[in-house]
């Protein structure tokens, strides 16, 4: 009958089994290993510089985050990816029918649907960023599971998802242009160098969207009311901004108020770039840039201050 | 991973591949509270991260399911060591501490304090599920891992053929999984994952419990290649349950207890120390436990009964005079108790061995798969001599479970709220076997 080995016997056996003395190593291979670059793993550090470095360091994951955001839009649906083009199509049609058909909003010498779809493109970019930005931190743990991943890249990855929305709405707008080209033989939108101004307007709307997301994403983890509340604020903001109507159609006493809206300038830039409407006023542009600088800085500080504590609550 | 960065200014000692300096990870912190000004500003708000279930936000439901996965608890205190080419270090003892240390070395979490400096690349030979951040399978999931861990961008592109060859995917077809099934894809991806890690040009390999989660053939192939890499000069860190598990690659070991590294040395001497510690702990445990289960069913499980009912039995070894409460519980899954049958009166027992059985009558049970648990809770009888009361002594449970995946077990499907109607429908039998 075999007897169990004592701890001392087991220890001797284990010592005898370990080979690889250092002298046996291949000198060339050893030299190669010891010439490798050094990298370090250190505790988490606070500060804007470190968060921006997170973004650069995790830039390889941005396409993955973006893909996750887009896939969420049709996850658990019966129609699947068909919802991707269906949603902007239905949205544009219903709003264009309401404003252009029932309310008879003026759109100059072009069909209302073209005025509306091009005017809405920039807003869609902004709205998508604010909507998904408010959920940004709550969604973050489902993207990378079982490990810590920085959160700011995930918020910025929403730009990719919002750009996809912008692309879809732009496709609808271009489809409307081609419809009228074949139906009436008139090209209502002609490419020009002012398109660059439209691009700048979209960039400004994107910056505003990210700024808002920097506030709402950590705070909505503390209280979901922030997200629900901001959805209604966005809707209200939509009607205050001259998207579905030209700013000139407002009564004169209300036009200065509309110009004080920081989103008026970028929306007007988009319309000016695509549709050659009146350009935004200097006052309107100044309001936009000043608001963006001030709120952007505060938003970044808010995000730095609350994101780590907020994620602990998830 | 912002805490992982290339650092030309960090100087490693000559001939060192991995340097760990005073690395710690704190225990899980309580959920952070909102700032006071926010609470004052919105006094009526419930400051909950979970909110209410509105049935619309399916992404939030996913999030809730993943909460436990993404949270890590436990602690690791002030660990330091260095590894040179060809070294092998085993991490033994406190499973929580060794696993946390492995995840910190792999860069999955930032440490609370300290610093890890690595010359070259570190390759984590973990379970695929530990690093499968995306929940998918196949090459796409490997790409996410690759990007997260900052593997060379061309690894999966340029060396894919080598990776597939090393994985021997044709062997997976012999496992018996239906082609294209989830299990089949997972088995293939696990192999591809290990193969990818083995093809990293790494200087340090982290081996998680002797290739846990991998099939034997693949684990053996990886072990052989790893031995070759160690001969070429790569260093290895491996965690394990016991010294035998890490003996193939490790000459030295660190023993952890409650988050602290309590000893370090050659594997043999650490093994001796560990065996002594275990023997002492077992002896101490024997002295402290006033009651324990001796016999539970035939194979260490409660016997499986059919719809006709039957008897469940456990044997209790009682070391001191106790009042024992008995309880039989059925649950669909952990935390979802459906039927609880208590013996209302406590049973006074003196030291000895007792056989405790419960007769489950026919008619109460339908077919179904349940976990059956027989629980004995012992408390010292007032006025009796014995060890001074402590938390462990005042309420001590022994439980035995059977989780039958194989067929009908218990099925008691009463209407909700009828649990209290059953205590007298079962018959408890207790008799002393020996003193």
**pLDDT tens digits along A166-189:** 998 888 888 888 988 888 888 888
The proportion of chain B whose per-residue pLDDT surpasses 90, expressed as a percent, equals: 19
Contact A312 B31 (CB under 8 A): yes
- Higher-confidence residue of B427 and A3: namely B427
pLDDT at B389 over 80: no
- pLDDT tens by residue, B232-288: 889 999 998 888 889 989 989 999 988 888 889 999 899 999 888 888 887 776 665
Contact B119 A36 (CB under 8 A): yes
Q: Search chain A and give the residue with CA nearest B51.
A: A224
pLDDT at B384 over 60: no
The pLDDT value recorded for residue B285 is 65
**Which residues on B lie below 8 Å from A30 (Cβ)?**
85-86, 233
pLDDT at B411 over 50: no
The pLDDT value recorded for residue B204 is 93
Does some domain include residue A29?
Answer: no
The pLDDT value recorded for residue B8 is 53
pLDDT at A301 over 70: yes
The pLDDT value recorded for residue B216 is 85
- Looking from the CA of B357 toward its CB, the CA atoms found within 13 Å total 15
CA distance B212 to B240: 10
**Which residues on B lie below 8 Å from A141 (Cβ)?**
63, 66-67, 70
- Higher-confidence residue of B291 and A112: namely A112
Residue A82: both structure tokens together: 């068909």
Does some domain include residue A289?
Answer: yes
The beta strands (E) that lie in B258-343 are given as 260-266, 291-296, 310-318, 322-333, 336-342
Q: Which of A104-118, B146-160, B220-234 has the lowest mean pLDDT?
A: A104-118
Mean pLDDT of B176-195: 87
The beta strands (E) that lie in A7-57 are given as 38-41
pLDDT at B308 over 60: no
Does some domain include residue A39?
Answer: no
The pLDDT value recorded for residue A201 is 93
Contact B154, B187 (CB under 8 A): no
Contact B52 A224 (CB under 8 A): yes
Count of domains observed in chain A: 1
Smallest Cβ distance to B233: which of A33, A38, A75? A33
Question: What 3-state class would DSSP assign to A93?
Answer: helix
The pLDDT value recorded for residue A258 is 87
The pLDDT value recorded for residue B55 is 35
Contact A39 B5 (CB under 8 A): yes
**Which residues on A lie below 8 Å from B85 (Cβ)?**
22, 25, 30, 33-34
Residue numbers of the domain that contains A95? 57-293
- pLDDT tens by residue, B342-354: 776 777 878 888 8
Does some domain include residue A190?
Answer: yes
- pLDDT tens by residue, A216-226: 888 888 777 88
- pLDDT tens by residue, A252-283: 888 888 888 999 999 999 988 888 888 889 99
Q: Taking the mean position of all CA atoms in its chain, how far away is CA B346?
A: 35
Q: Residue B174: which of B211, B217, B138, B142 has the closest Cα?
A: B217
Contact B51 A224 (CB under 8 A): yes
Does some domain include residue A309?
Answer: no
- Looking from the CA of B92 toward its CB, the CA atoms found within 13 Å total 31
Question: What 3-state class would DSSP assign to B15?
Answer: coil
The pLDDT value recorded for residue B195 is 93
Smallest Cβ distance to A150: which of B2, B7, B84? B2
- Higher-confidence residue of B66 and A299: namely A299
The pLDDT value recorded for residue B371 is 61
CA distance B346 to B349: 9
Does some domain include residue A308?
Answer: no
Contact A150 B12 (CB under 8 A): no
CA distance B119 to A30: 12
Contact A37 B88 (CB under 8 A): no
Does some domain include residue A5?
Answer: no
- Looking from the CA of A19 toward its CB, the CA atoms found within 13 Å total 10
- Higher-confidence residue of B400 and B236: namely B236
| ipTM reported for the complex, 2 dp | 0.77
**Which residues on B lie below 8 Å from A224 (Cβ)?**
51-52
The pLDDT value recorded for residue A10 is 52
Name all domains of chain B by residue range, CATH numbers in brackets.
18-28+61-279 (3.40.50.300), 291-434 (2.60.40)
Does some domain include residue A300?
Answer: no
Residue position matching structure tokens 């489809």: A175
CB of B148 less than 8 A from some CB of A: yes
- pLDDT tens by residue, A45-86: 888 888 888 888 888 889 988 888 888 888 888 888 888 888
CB of B432 less than 8 A from some CB of A: no
Contact A151, A232 (CB under 8 A): no
pLDDT at A121 over 90: no
The pLDDT value recorded for residue B288 is 57
Residue A52: both structure tokens together: 């921006």
């Amino acid at each position: 009958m075999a007897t169990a080995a004592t701890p001392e016997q087991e220890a001797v056996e284990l010592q005898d089994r370990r080979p690889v003395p250092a002298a046996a190593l291949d000198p060339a291979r050893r030299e190669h290993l010891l010439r490798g670059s050094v990298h370090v793993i250190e505790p988490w550090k606070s500060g804007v510089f470190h968060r921006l470095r997170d973004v650069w360091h995790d830039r390889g994951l941005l396409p993955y985050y973006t893909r996750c955001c887009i896939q969420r839009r049709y996850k658990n649906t019966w129609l699947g990816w068909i919802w991707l083009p269906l949603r902007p199509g239905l949205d544009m049609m219903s709003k264009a029918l309401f404003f252009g058909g029932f309310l008879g909003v003026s759109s100059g010498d072009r069909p209302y649907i073209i005025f509306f779809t091009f005017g809405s493109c920039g807003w869609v970019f902004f709205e998508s960023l604010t909507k998904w930005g408010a959920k940004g931190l709550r969604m973050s743990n489902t993207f990378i599971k079982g490990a810590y991943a920085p959160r700011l890249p995930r918020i910025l990855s929403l730009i990719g998802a919002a750009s996809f929305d912008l692309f879809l709405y732009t496709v609808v707008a271009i489809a409307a242009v081609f419809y009228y080209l074949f139906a009436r033989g008139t090209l209502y939108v002609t490419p020009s160098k002012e398109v660059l101004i439209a691009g700048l307007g979209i960039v400004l709307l994107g910056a505003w969207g990210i700024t808002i997301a920097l506030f709402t994403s950590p705070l909505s983890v503390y209280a979901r009311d922030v997200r629900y509340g901001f959805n209604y604020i966005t809707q209200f903001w939509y009607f205050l901004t001259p998207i579905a109507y030209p700013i000139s159609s407002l009564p004169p006493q209300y036009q200065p108020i509309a110009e004080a809206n920081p989103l008026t300038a970028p929306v007007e830039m988009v319309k000016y770039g695509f549709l050659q409407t009146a350009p935004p006023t200097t006052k309107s542009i100044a309001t936009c840039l000043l608001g963006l600088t001030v709120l952007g800085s505060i938003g970044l500080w808010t995000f730095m201050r609350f994101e780590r504590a907020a994620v602990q609550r998830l | 991973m912002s805490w992982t960065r290339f650092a030309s200014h960090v100087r490693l000692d000559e001939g060192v591949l991995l340097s760990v300096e005073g690395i710690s990870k704190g225990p899980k912190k309580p959920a952070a509270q909102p700032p006071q000004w926010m609470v004052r500003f919105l006094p009526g708000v419930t400051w909950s991260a979970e909110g209410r279930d509105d049935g619309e936000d399916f992404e939030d439901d996913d999030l809730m399911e993943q909460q436990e996965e993404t949270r890590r608890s436990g602690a690791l205190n002030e660990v330091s060591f260095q590894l040179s080419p060809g070294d092998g270090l085993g991490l033994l003892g406190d499973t929580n501490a060794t696993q946390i240390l492995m995840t910190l070395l792999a860069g999955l979490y930032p440490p609370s304090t300290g610093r890890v400096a690595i010359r070259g690349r570190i390759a984590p030979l973990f379970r695929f599920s530990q690093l499968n951040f995306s929940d998918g399978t196949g090459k796409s999931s490997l790409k996410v891992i690759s990007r997260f861990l900052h593997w060379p961008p061309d690894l999966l592109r340029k060396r894919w053929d080598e990776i597939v060859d090393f994985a021997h995917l044709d062997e997976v077809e012999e496992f018996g999984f239906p082609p294209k099934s989830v299990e089949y894809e997972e088995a293939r991806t696990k192999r591809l994952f290990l193969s990818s890690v083995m093809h990293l040009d790494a200087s340090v390999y982290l081996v998680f419990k002797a290739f846990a989660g991998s099939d034997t053939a693949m684990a053996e192939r990886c072990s052989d290649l790893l031995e070759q890499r160690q001969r070429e000069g790569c260093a290895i860190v491996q965690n394990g349950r016991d010294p035998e598990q890490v003996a193939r690659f490790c000459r030295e070991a660190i023993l952890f207890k409650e988050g602290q590294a309590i000893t370090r040395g050659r594997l043999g001497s650490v093994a001796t120390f560990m065996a002594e510690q275990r023997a002492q702990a077992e002896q101490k445990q024997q002295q402290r436990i006033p009651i324990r289960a001796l016999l539970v069913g035939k194979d260490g499980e409660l016997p499986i009964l059919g719809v006709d009912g039957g008897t469940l039995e456990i044997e209790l070894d009682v070391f001191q005079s106790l009042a024992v409460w008995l309880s039989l519980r059925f649950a669909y899954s952990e935390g979802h108790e459906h039927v609880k049958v208590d013996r209302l009166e406590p049973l006074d027992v003196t030291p000895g061995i007792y056989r405790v059985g419960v007769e489950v009558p026919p008619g109460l049970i339908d077919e179904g798969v349940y976990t059956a648990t027989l629980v004995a809770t012992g408390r010292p009888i007032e006025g009796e001599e014995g060890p001074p009361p402590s938390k462990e002594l005042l309420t001590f449970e022994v439980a035995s479970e059977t989780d039958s995946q194989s067929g009908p077990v218990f099925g008691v499907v009463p209407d909700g709220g009828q649990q209290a109607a059953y205590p007298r429908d079962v018959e408890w039998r207790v008799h002393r076997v020996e003193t």
